[in-house]
Structures are given as C-alpha cells and as structure tokens.
Chains A and B, each alone.
Chain A
Amino acid sequence: MTTNSKKGLGAFIADCMRWALSGGIGFKIYIVILLAVMGTGAYAYANQYQNGLITTGMSNIVSWGLYISNFTFFVGVAAAAVMLIIPAYILKDKDLHEVVIIGEGVAVGALVMCLIFITVDMGGPLKVWHMIPGIGLFNWPSSILAWDVLVLNGYLALNVLVPLYILYCNYNNKKPTGWKYKPFVFLSIFWAVSIHMTTAFLYQGLPARPFWNNPLLGPRFLASAFAAGPAVIMMVLITIQQKTSYFIDNRVFFKLKRIIVVSAIINLLMLFSEIFKEFYNATHHSLSAQYLFFGLDGHDALVPWIWTAISLNIIGTLLFAFDPTKCNPKYLMPAAISLFTGIWIEKGFGLIIPGFVPSPMGEVVDYAPTLNEILITVGVLATGILVVTLVIKPALVILQRFREATT
C-alpha cells in the first residue's frame, strides 16, 4: 500500500462509498430494514402529498404536531455536537478528539432529519423555492422562521465541510492544516448555540401562546439538548465499541457522562422553576401547563406522556449521576436511552402541543397523530439513522488507518 502518494477526491469518494456500504450479513439486514422503513414512509408521504395534511391528526387548533415536535427535538441533538467540539478542538482534550467526528456525524444526521421534518410539514412543499433569496422572497430579518432556515442550513454546511476536510487529509495520511479549518470550528460553536436559540425564539417570540412566551425557553432548550445530544452520541459510541474494532477509550464515556450529568441537572432545575411559576399562583396563562400535566376539561391526552417523560428524565439523570459501575457501557446504555427518551417526549410533544391548547379562543381539544403521520415520522427517523451510519462508517475506517499509519 502506498502511503505517501496523494490520492484524489474521486478515489476518496469511491473509497468512502465502498467502506460505507460494505459489511457483514447483519449490517446488510440492518440497512435493508432501514430502507424498508424509509420506503414505507415515502409511500405514506405520497398519500399525504396527494390528499393534503388532512391525512394528519392536526387541525386548525393544534396546527403543528408530530413533525414539528420532532424537528424541535432534533435541532437540539444537532446542536449537542458542540459539547464534543469545545473540549476536543478548544480545550485540546485528546480523548474526545478521537470521537468528535462521531458527534459531527450525529449532527449531520439530526440536521437532515430536521430539514425533512420541516418539508413534510409544509402544505406546499413544491413552493419551497419561494423562500430562496433572489428568486423568491425571504422575510429576513423579520421572520424567525427565515432565520431558522438560514442557521440550520449553515450549520449543516459547517458540520459537513469541516469533518470532510479533516477526513480527506487523514485519508492522504496528512495532518489537517490548522488555519484552514480552525476558524470554521470556532464559527460552528457559536452557530450551534444559535440554531438552538433561534429555534427556541421561533416559539418564545409569540405572545399569542403564553406557554411558549417565556424567556426560559431558549436556555432550557440548550440545557436539555446538551443532555439529550451527548446521550445519543453515547449510544452511538457504545454501539460502535461493541460492533466494530474501532477502539474507544473508557475515559471518553467518563467525560461524556460528566457533561450529561451537569446539563441534565441544570435542565431539571429549570423544569422545576417553570413548574413553580405555572402552579404556585396559577393564572389564565397557566392553562396550557395545566392541560399538559393534569388535563383540562376532561382532555388529558398528554398527561401520561409528560409524567413518563419526567420519570425517565429523573431516572436517567440519577443513573448517570450515581454510576456504581464506573462507566460500564452495559450500564450506561439504558441510562442514555432513558434520558434521551424522556427529553424526546418532553421537548417534542410536551413542548409543542400544549402551546396550542387551549386555543386563543379558549377551546380545548386533544391531538393524536394518525398512522400515516407516524409512518412518515418513523421514515424520517430511519433516514437520519441511515445518514449517521453511512457517514460514520467510512470516517472510522479512515481514522483507524490514519491512527495505525501514524503510530
């Protein structure tokens, strides 16, 4: 094998695709299952495209549902890559530097999901070009949604280009040149915070919805994301450690765990603060919270969900905080799943739906997604998982080769 001759971009792409798709029978079954789920989702989407959003459970009262809930949550997961980027690139933490690329891969997958979720939620997806500056009309800086489109796409670009450059250098057995990518790393740190704050402002800036119109929404978004995101990354790392030969040091788990614990505790503190405000002196504006936690006028569709979410949230936090096994992956996996699921429900469903209930005219209705809607959502999730898989696999091969070649 020639190690010094420079290989071109064509060879890089070809090799990446080969590494992405090669694998044992188990891997092939896994890919086929993902493709099947995506296919089902596409079929369900064709149905929605033909008949309109009437195929969903949304209505004029609850006008955003499962799609936007998931969109909101996965923006958080995408932003969480920054919790690896800061220690890896800025604090020069060697252990986390080894896995930062995985965090970025997860971010790319999450962003792809976000963009698809927004698109499937649109009434006129073919009119998306109306938003492109130049040929369309972009309501910037007035519309927060316009900002969100901007920051999400920008963050996706940053998270694709920086790792791509580093990997391409490593592929050619070279160290990446600092000045060529470091500025973008710094930029992506601020950008990560901005995607999350902007998405929070989307809701926070609406006086029409007292449940969202709350200055804690943005910061709490960040705290929950910095707990849930690293939890996802931990799940991916544990899977990699168990399924591949790629070596992941236990110290990585230890550091990740510390990040999760701190964020999760801050998140719980803010949750407590919110609950206190809503219920100590309940006002007309607390009705949404009342609907969420206890039900209102006999409508209580969200009550079991939110209590499950809070329980999982607390259990996950406690499991991470008091870990008797000293970072045994078998112990960390359920803890990560618990925390992740809890925040998923709470920051998705639990945040979006109560914003609409009661309606500005005081009406209380329940929202339940239809099967079609669920199939589309699951299809999008499968797409995200596929993207993460196909991005991380070749990256690991390149990193491992580079590691072997340099040591």
Chain B
Amino acid sequence: MDSRKKEGQMKTIDILEKKTSRRSFMKKLSIAAAAGSAGLVAGGCVGTSESTEEMGLKWEEYFKKNYRMMTPEEKDETVVRLEKLAKLQDGVDIQMSNQEPQEKVLFGYAFNISRCKGYMDCVEACVQENNLDRNSKTQYIRIFEMDSGQQDPTSGDGKYHHEVPVENKYYMGIQCFHCENAPCIRACPTKATWREPDGIVVVDYDWCIGCRYCMAACPFWGRRFNWGKPEVPKEEINTKQHYLGNRKRMKGAMEKCTFCVQRTRQGKLPACADACPTGSRVFGNLLDPDSEIRYVLKHKKVFRFKEELGTDPKFWYFMD
C-alpha cells in the first residue's frame, strides 16, 4: 500500500516538473548553485522525498571502497545494502551474489560461424538476463551478416533487419572478448575494471568515474556506456544478480558483457549460449581438458578477430 502511494506521488511530481518549466528552471538553478555540495552527494535526485533509511544506505554506498579492496565482510555488507536499496527504490526483491571465482577455472568461448543463422536469440536472451537498458536498446552482443569470402566483421552488416538466414551469407557474433592482455584495463585511471582470476573482465560500476577511456581503448567495441539513466520495466527485471554482473547500473557508468558471471560461476552456461537454437556457441573451462571448448580448440580450425593487436582474446571463431 504504502509503497504504491509513494510511487503515485513520485509520478505526480514527475508530471508537474515536466509541465512547469519555471519550477524545473528553479530546480536546475539551485543545483547549479549547489553543485558539489554534500546534499547532492547523497541525493543525486533532489526533490523526491526519501526515507532516512534510504539516505543512510546511499551515504554508505557512496563512501564504500573499490570492490577489490573490500574484505569479504564488506562485500557482504554492500550486497545487503544494494538489496535493501532495490526494495526501497524500485520495490523489487533481488538476490545479489558476490560469489568468488572458482579454483582452476578459466572461461573461454568459441563461436561456430558455419552454424550461426543470425536469429539473434542470443541477443534477446542477453538483454533479458543482464537487465540491459531498454531505453537506449543496449545490447552486448552484435551479429554481423557477412558475405562469403570475407572474414573481417567490419565489412559486414551489423544492422540487418530481414528474414534470416540469407543465402550465401554467414553470421558472426561479436561481444566482449575478455582479452588476457586487455587495453581497456590498462587504460582505466581508477582500476574500476579488471580481469578476474577466472578470466572474466568486469567493471565495478560504483567505482567507475565515467571517463570512457576504456571505451576508446577497446579494439572490439566491447563496452557500453550509460549516457542516460538505464531503465528496465519492473516486471522484466532479472532478480538473480551478481555484484560484478547484471545488477542495476547507474547513469554515467561503463558496462559490458561479463560472460554472465551470475550464471557461469554457478556452473551454468551464459544466457547467450543457453539460448542459441543452432548450437553455434560453445562455452566452457579452458583448464578442463575434457571440456567441449578444449575439444573445439584442438580439433577445429579456429581463428581470432584482430589477432595482430596482441590482446589475446578468450573468444575464438571456428567452422565445421
């Protein structure tokens, strides 16, 4: 009841603001005057009524450390805070994990270009699984339609919108390649992005200052920036989340494919590999000699995109 009432209130405020430009002018003016003040720090959205609990949680969140510098207890605390905040702000019950990488696991991915038919079920599954912003239609995966005789996706069509498969075309999926020698990680001025021991390149969204240097450094266009406030309809939110994965992002932060860290650390396949109807996507542990990915790397003809840049991607293409 209460939360619904509050929601209603917020909506009316929204409408009022859109209509009365004078009010929003005054509001902006006051922000301009107060820019950098402590009120803003905790607020971020001045004007909406907030409970003291919410303010307190936000305050603690603002002053927390980089995820990698946190003790296990601090990691548990921030996860609890974020769960509470999700309940208070969005009225959603989420379960957030901070599961550590497993021992002797190094994730790798292989993409079968002779099987993919370009249906893009992977893209859809990724959007749902990772709570990607629906406003800007963010997607981590892109599928390029290619002419035979080409091997460079930059010459392919990444925006095709027609029935697939098309004769004499093949399809190539691109996402973050989780490079071992990643230029994006080196670029970050605050160590907000790093490679986990299991090979997943992650971003601490709360630590990212939004300078976008990593984005300029990535040769594979693997990163996405939140230019506005990302939004996911309440009923579509995936509530099974990971701190380094599909949790709620904020405007001004960088994000990227995490090999579905919230799934893969529990032994599941990433959502894209799970959703693929053609079996083009092979995911597994590179350190396990019996894994399918090892079989592919051993027995198929494989290649990697922009190998000459020496970033050592953990993502291979192969054909039957």
Q: Which residues of A contact B (CB under 8 A)?
A: 39, 42-43, 45-47, 49-54, 56, 58-61, 63-64, 118, 121-128, 130-131, 136-139, 142-146, 149, 202-203, 206-209, 355-356, 358-363
Q: Which of B35, B156, B229 contacts A45 (CB 8 A)?
A: B35
Flag whether B319 is at the interface (Cβ < 8 A).
no
Considering the complex of A and B, which 4 residue pairs feature the smallest CB-CB distances, nearest first? A123-B210, A123-B252, A362-B154, A54-B228
Q: Which of A49, A137, A138 contacts B69 (CB 8 A)?
A: A137
Does the CB pair B219–A360 fall under 8 Å? Answer: yes
Flag whether B32 is at the interface (Cβ < 8 A).
yes
* B54-85 Cβ-contact flags toward A at 8 Å (1 or 0): 00000000100010010000000000000000
B219 CB to closest chain A CB, in angstroms? 4
Q: Which of A50, A59, A207, A362 contacts B31 (CB 8 A)?
A: A50
Which residues of A lie under 8 Å from residue B219 when comparing CB positions?
A: 207-208, 360
Flag whether B211 is at the interface (Cβ < 8 A).
yes
Does the CB pair B66–A130 fall under 8 Å? Answer: yes
A228 CB to closest chain B CB, in angstroms? 24
Which residues of B lie under 8 Å from residue A149 when comparing CB positions?
A: 189
Does the CB pair A356–B210 fall under 8 Å? Answer: no
Complex formed: what's the CA distance from A89 to B217 in Å?
Answer: 40
* B212-226 Cβ-contact flags toward A at 8 Å (1 or 0): 110111111100111
| Count of A-B residue pairs with CB < 8 Å | 165
Interface centre among A118, A142, A355 (most CB of B within 10 A): A142
Q: Which residues of B contact A (CB under 8 A)?
A: 28-29, 31-32, 35-36, 40-41, 62, 66, 69, 136, 142, 144, 152-156, 158, 174, 183, 186-192, 207-213, 215-221, 224-229, 250-254, 309
Closest B residue to A207 by beta carbon equals: B309
Which residues of B lie under 8 Å from residue A58 when comparing CB positions?
A: 227
Complex formed: what's the CA distance from A360 to B311 in Å?
Answer: 14
Does the CB pair A123–B251 fall under 8 Å? Answer: yes
Interface centre among A47, A59, A360 (most CB of B within 10 A): A360
Closest A residue to B44 by beta carbon equals: A126
Complex formed: what's the CA distance from A126 to B253 in Å?
Answer: 12
Does the CB pair A206–B35 fall under 8 Å? Answer: no
Given A51-B228, A208-B216, A208-B218, A136 and B190 touching (CB < 8 A)?
A: yes
A239 CB to closest chain B CB, in angstroms? 30
Closest A residue to B205 by beta carbon equals: A124
